[in-house]
């Protein structure tokens, strides 16, 4: 995949995990971190910041590594992927996070659209 696509996907997956962690692990000990994105052993000069609990950091590490190693030029939806890179329990966990944060974001957009403020 292109660098742009890789950066976009890495940022998206982190954003989703961050939303999930903010909501679900409010009381967990969190670590601030910075990841300099690399792809195919090249530095991309893009940094992503996170504030995640240990569990979510691990989830991000797995997702990020899988994304780096994704053999597809255009990454298909993981559900339809012919060569899934996630171990089954990991994939289920990531899918749960994506679903949760995706719905939450959809809701936020809808609220903005309808001009309903919290
Ligand atoms: Zn967390």
Domain boundaries, the chain: 3-113
Mean per-residue pLDDT over the chain, rounded: 88
Contacts of 78 (CB under 8 A, 6+ apart): 84, 86, 91, 94, 95
Distance 71 CA to ligand 1 centre (A): 28
What's the pLDDT band for 113 if we cut at 50, 70, 90?
confident
pTM above 0.75, yes or no: yes
Question: How high is the pLDDT of residue 48?
Answer: 95
Dist CA 10 CA 8 (whole Å):
6
Question: How high is the pLDDT of residue 116?
Answer: 61
Dist CA 54 CA 62 (whole Å):
13
Distance 54 CA to ligand 1 centre (A): 7
Segment 2-31 shows an average pLDDT of 95
């Amino acid at each position: 995949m292109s660098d742009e696509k890789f950066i976009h996907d890495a940022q998206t997956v982190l954003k989703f995990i961050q939303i999930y962690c903010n909501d679900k692990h409010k009381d967990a000990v969190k670590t601030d971190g910075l990841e300099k994105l690399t792809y195919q052993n090249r530095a991309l000069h893009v940094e992503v910041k996170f504030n995640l609990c240990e569990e979510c950091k691990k989830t991000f590490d797995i997702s990020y590594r899988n994304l780096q190693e994704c053999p597809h030029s255009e990454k298909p939806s993981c559900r339809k992927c012919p060569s899934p890179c996630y171990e089954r329990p990991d994939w289920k966990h990531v899918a749960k996070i994506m679903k949760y944060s995706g719905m939450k974001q959809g809701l936020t957009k809808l609220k903005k659209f309808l001009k309903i403020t919290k």
